[in-house]
């Protein structure tokens, strides 16, 4: 069975605090008729710090979409290889062991995808398969895990590298003055992450099954307006209430396997905002503590789009992981409204080694 190994996560060096964000909102939008509401909403996000690829002065400038997209490519090529090497190290693999690269990002555009550059510049085999995912937004981290799981199910001894590159600050639009846009200016941050799904062996989350759920007729709740000035993020005020529709989907997916979505041992979910986590806890009848990894990501790094679930999962690893065979759920939420959900059990080092030894013994017996 495929195992999702420990992710590697990196954030840029430029930091903006909640206090700085609120001061900037007062300075830039002092005459906004709903400024008090905007300040209250930003304050309620719980985001204390965010990391940006540029100093805030340069982030607030808009040199045009061409310059921004060029910066996206430059920064991606500068920052992604480091997390890739670290993720491979965590998985105890090399570039030559990887059979597919899944690249997820919704904050810039490249064609060929960054996957082609990674293969050429880092020594991956030329036959390495490429799967870029660009239009699932924050749900793409979950989708990447699920597509990696599918691939390893079809090719049981294959290994898949997942890369998430999200520079949300490059989507800042100074002329977008709606409440949703101004809230987003205080919510999103930048990050890159990578993780390996091993078809055999490895320590981490042993993936059991996966699924997807689309909430009907919510296509315009989270979207991009693609204009001359780039990507304009559109956020409907109904989005925070989507857990009323997605929590039942999580329960329905777990039920056929005899799992109770309200009784699992760990939860790695996308932290789009505090209400998402609050409502999910309410609908699943879970204490706030069960979402501590996602809350920590939101507090320290903001909403880092598809990279959120990798950052939250890394925090589980940093805490020492879970007990062997502990059951958990990984879920990403994004445009559509779409949920990408995976169920899995924790496989510690000894358990993973035991399975590897068992496979060797079975192969030897078959050969004999």
Active site residues: 138
CA dist list (Å): 308 to 160, 181, 301, 311: 19, 20, 9, 5
Q: Where are the alpha helices (DSSP H) in the chain?
A: 18-28, 35-44, 56-60, 65-91, 114-122, 140-154, 179-185, 243-254, 274-283, 292-301, 308-318, 349-367
Q: Three-state DSSP class for 248?
A: helix
Q: Three-state DSSP class for 264?
A: coil
Bridge partners, 120 (sequence order): none
CA dist list (Å): 134 to 110, 141, 150: 10, 11, 19
- Residue labelled with tokens 């409440």: 179
Rounded Cα–Cα distance for residues 250 and 340 (Å): 9
Q: What is the per-residue burial (b if ≥16 Cβ within 10 Å, else e) of 82-115?
A: ebbebbbebbebebebbbbbbbbbbbbebeebbb
Contact 326, 345 (CB under 8 A): yes
């Amino acid at each position: 069975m495929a195992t999702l190994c420990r992710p590697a996560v990196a954030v840029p060096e430029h930091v903006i605090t909640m206090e700085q964000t609120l001061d900037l909102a007062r300075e830039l939008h002092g005459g906004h008729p709903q400024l008090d509401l905007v300040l209250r909403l930003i304050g309620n996000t719980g985001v204390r710090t965010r990391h940006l690829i540029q100093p805030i002065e340069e982030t607030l400038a808009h040199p045009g979409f061409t310059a921004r997209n060029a910066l996206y490519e430059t920064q991606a090529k500068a920052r992604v290889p480091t997390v890739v090497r670290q993720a491979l190290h965590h998985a105890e693999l090399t570039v030559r062991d990887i059979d597919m690269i899944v690249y997820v990002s919704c904050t810039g555009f490249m064609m060929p995808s960054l996957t082609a550059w990674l293969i050429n510049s880092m020594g991956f085999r030329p036959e390495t398969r490429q799967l870029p995912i660009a239009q699932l937004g924050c749900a793409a981290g979950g989708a990447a895990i699920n597509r990696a799981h599918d691939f390893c199910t079809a090719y049981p001894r294959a290994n898949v590298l997942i890369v998430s590159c999200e520079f949300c600050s490059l989507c800042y639009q100074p002329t977008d003055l709606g409440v949703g846009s101004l809230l987003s200016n205080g919510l999103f941050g930048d990050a890159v992450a990578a993780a390996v799904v091993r078809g055999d062996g490895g320590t981490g989350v042993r993936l059991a099954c996966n699924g997807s759920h689309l909430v009907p007729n919510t296509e315009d709740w989270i979207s991009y307006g693609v204009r001359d000035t780039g990507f304009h993020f559109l956020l409907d005020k109904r989005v925070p209430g989507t857990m009323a529709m997605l929590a039942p989907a999580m329960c329905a997916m777990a039920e056929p396997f005899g799992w109770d979505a309200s009784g699992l041992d760990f939860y790695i979910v996308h932290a789009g905002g505090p209400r998402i986590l609050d409502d999910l806890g309410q609908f699943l009848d879970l204490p706030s503590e069960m979402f501590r990894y996602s809350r920590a990501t939101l507090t320290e790094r903001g909403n880092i789009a598809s990279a959120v679930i990798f950052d939250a999962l890394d925090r589980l690893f940093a805490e020492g992981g879970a007990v062997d065979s502990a059951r958990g759920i990984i879920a990403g939420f994004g445009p559509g409204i779409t949920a990408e959900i995976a169920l899995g059990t924790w496989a510690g080092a000894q358990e993973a080694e035991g399975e590897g030894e068992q496979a060797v013994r079975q192969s030897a017996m078959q050969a004999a």
